């Protein structure tokens, strides 16, 4: 095992999780932040977002003195063998990835380099970014410092980020320097995953191609669900049959309100934009986006069909986060669906086990319940949008006593339609 000194700039889902995991492997890790309050909190083990197991892993490695938080690029950068850029790359209005923070951070890293350092981007960045970052590093570095650049895209999923980082399907290392390759291979050795060595552009494109393909699978499942409803087929069985084919695989084939989160929507947009910049119209992905919007509208259409006019009707929402086990609300389907319903005059009460604080920033005109049962008080309709485990175990006899009318839209198909119908509910799923 090779113990190294490494640094991460950015302490979001990617930066903090990978930093904590590499510290847990025995490396000495610096995490460079940019706001005093967050860095002070992190030093005490207080994490700004919810990710299962992360708080324990961070505290353990702070105590072992392997994980250090700082606002300063020195001595963290000059002492490190490798420095990872893990800041956000949100979509701009045109759909391109906003690289301003990546480039700003590269400048700071460059100025503080000393000896030989590998600088690697973990943030998802469009093809060609490597050239910009490399130029900044070369121009900013002090005389005598040596730097090689690599693109090491990250594939972790929020909600299972630690185990994804410890057991990834592959590690992609994109660099043209054999020396940088050697450092990064040694660093990733304890993970034991297959390592794919590529050039910069290939590594950058692998990340966008993977996320866009997963988004495509979700939209495909939603299109099949729509068609199943029209022809009277059971989409879940159709997709189960499809997924049993090893060439297709059964993951990411669940119909529902569409994909959301901080990655798929922006990465699909960015890949469309990268293609456009290179005179290729990636219209397949434009349709993936259309189907995704349609999936959200379909939930609202079902609510209108059940309730007639939704104005003044009370609708309870189970789940707000874009998926279970996270408090992340970025591009959550719940935002679009609830906004369409409140625009129609519906009164919304929602419950999510973790996401209320983040949801309040984007959904201010709805009520938040203290527990999942009170969502159903007096409700004309319940809509399940995020499949948290607690919603799977809910007692529908209790819900039944509280609701005004027994209507439910199961946006994630987690309930048994027959059981609910036997209890007197009007059950509507997606594609069933
Ligand atoms: N979240 C995921 O599931 C995931 C998975 C794979 C890849 N990615 C990619 O990784 C990148 C980071 O994503 P994330 O979800 O961790 O983002 P995030 O928004 O959770 O974190 C970004 C971090 O950057 C910090 N930051 C911003 N400006 C800074 C500056 N000037 N100096 C230092 N830190 C600064 C923020 O404080 C925050 O901690 C993105 O490009 C994303 O597409 C994300």
- Answer whether 88 contacts ligand 1 (Cβ < 6 A): yes
pLDDT of 77 above 90:
yes
Among protein residues, the one with the nearest Cα to ligand 1's atom 10 is 123
Measure 61 CA to ligand 1 centroid, in angstroms: 21
pLDDT for position 93 = 86
Q: Residue 99 C-alpha to ligand 1 middle, in angstroms?
A: 12
pTM beyond 0.85: the answer is yes
Over range 133-147, report the average pLDDT: 97
- Above 90 in pLDDT, residue 122? yes
Mean pLDDT of 268-283: 97
Question: Ligand 1 centre and the CA of 50: distance in Å?
Answer: 14
Instruction: Look at residue 95 in the predicted model and tell me its pLDDT.
Output: 85
Atom of ligand 1 nearest to the CA of 11: 39
CA 4 to chain centre: 29
pLDDT tens digits, 406-425 = 999 999 999 999 999 999 99
DSSP states of 53-79:
THHHHHHHHHHTT-EEEES-STTHHHH
11 Cβ closer than 6 Å to some ligand 1 atom: yes
Checking if the pLDDT of 169 tops 80, the result is yes
pLDDT at 209: 98
The better pLDDT of the pair 130, 166 is held by 166
What pLDDT shows up at residue 2?
80
Band the pLDDT of 206: cuts 50, 70, 90. Answer: very high
Mean pLDDT of 283-306: 98
Residue 279 pLDDT more than 90? yes
pLDDT at 138 over 90: yes
The two beta strands, 407-410 and 426-428, are: parallel
CA angle 34, 40, 45 (to 5 degrees): 115
Nearest CA among 431, 323, 339, 311 for reference residue 384: 323
**Considering only CA atoms, which residue is closest to atom 7 of ligand 1?**
154
Please compute the mean of the pLDDT values over residues 153-160 and round it to a whole number: 96
Sheet of 407-410: strands edge to edge?
Answer: 367-368, 347-351, 314-318, 381-384, 407-410, 426-428
| 41 is known as an active-site residue | no
Beta-carbon count within 10 A of 276 CB: 14
What is the chain's mean pLDDT, rounded? 97
Q: Which candidate, 91, 85, 194, places its Cα nearest to that of 147?
A: 85
Cα(323)–Cα(391) distance, rounded to whole angstroms?
Answer: 13
Percent of the chain clearing pLDDT 90 (strictly above): 98
What pLDDT digit, counting tens, does each position of 3-34 carry?
999 999 999 999 999 999 999 999 999 999 99
Q: Nearest to residue 149, comparing CAs of 84, 205, 74? A: 84
* Beta pairing class for 28-32 and 5-9: parallel
Cis bond before residue 392 (omega within 30° of 0): no
Ligand 1 atom at minimal distance to the Cα of residue 48: 39
Domains of the chain: 5-198 (3.40.50.720), 288-428 (3.40.50.720)
């Amino acid at each position: 095992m090779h113990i190294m000194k490494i640094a991460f700039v950015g302490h979001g889902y990617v930066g903090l999780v990978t930093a904590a995991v590499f510290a847990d492997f025995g490396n000495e890790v610096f995490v460079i932040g940019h706001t005093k309050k967050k860095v002070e909190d992190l030093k005490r083990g207080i994490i700004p977002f919810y990710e299962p197991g992360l708080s324990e892993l961070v505290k353990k490695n702070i105590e072992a003195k392997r994980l250090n938080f700082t606002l300063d690029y020195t001595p963290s950068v000059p002492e490190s063998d490798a420095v990872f850029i893990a800041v956000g790359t949100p979509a701009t209005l045109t759909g391109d990835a906003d690289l301003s923070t990546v480039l700003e951070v590269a400048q700071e890293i460059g100025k503080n380099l000393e000896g030989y350092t590998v600088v690697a981007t973990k943030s998802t960045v469009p093809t060609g970014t490597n050239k910009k970052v490399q130029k900044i590093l070369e121009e900013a570095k002090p005389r005598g410092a040596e730097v090689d650049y690599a693109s090491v895209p990250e594939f972790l999923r929020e909600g299972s980020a630690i185990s994804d980082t410890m057991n990834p399907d592959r590690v992609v290392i994109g660099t043209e320097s054999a020396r940088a390759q050697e450092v990064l291979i040694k660093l990733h050795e304890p993970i034991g995953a297959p390592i794919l060595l590529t050039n910069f552009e290939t590594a950058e494109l692998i990340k966008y191609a993977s996320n866009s393909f997963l988004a495509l699978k979700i939209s495909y499942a939603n299109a099949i669900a729509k068609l199943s409803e029209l022809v009277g087929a059971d989409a879940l069985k159709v997709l189960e049959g499809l997924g049993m084919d090893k060439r297709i695989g059964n993951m990411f084939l669940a119909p529902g309100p569409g994909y959301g989160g901080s990655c798929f929507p922006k990465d699909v947009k960015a890949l469309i934009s990268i293609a456009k910049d290179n005179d290729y119209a990636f219209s397949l992905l434009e349709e993936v986006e259309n189907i995704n919007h349609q999936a959200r509208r379909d939930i609202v259409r079902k609510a209108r069909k059940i309730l007639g006019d939704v104005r003044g009707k009370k609708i309870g929402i189970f789940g707000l986060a874009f998926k279970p086990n996270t408090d992340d609300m970025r591009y959550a389907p719940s935002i679009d669906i609830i906004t369409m319903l409140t625009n129609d005059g519906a009164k919304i009460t929602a419950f999510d086990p973790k996401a209320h604080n983040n949801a309040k920033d984007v959904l201010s005109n709805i009520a938040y319940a203290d527990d999942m049962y009170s969502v159903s008080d007096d409700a004309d309709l319940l809509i399940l949008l995020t499949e948290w485990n607690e919603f799977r175990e809910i007692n529908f006899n209790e819900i039944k006593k509280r609701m005004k009318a027994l209507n439910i839209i199961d946006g994630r198909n987690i309930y048994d339609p027959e059981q609910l119908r036997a209890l007197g509910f009007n059950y509507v799923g997606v594609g069933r």
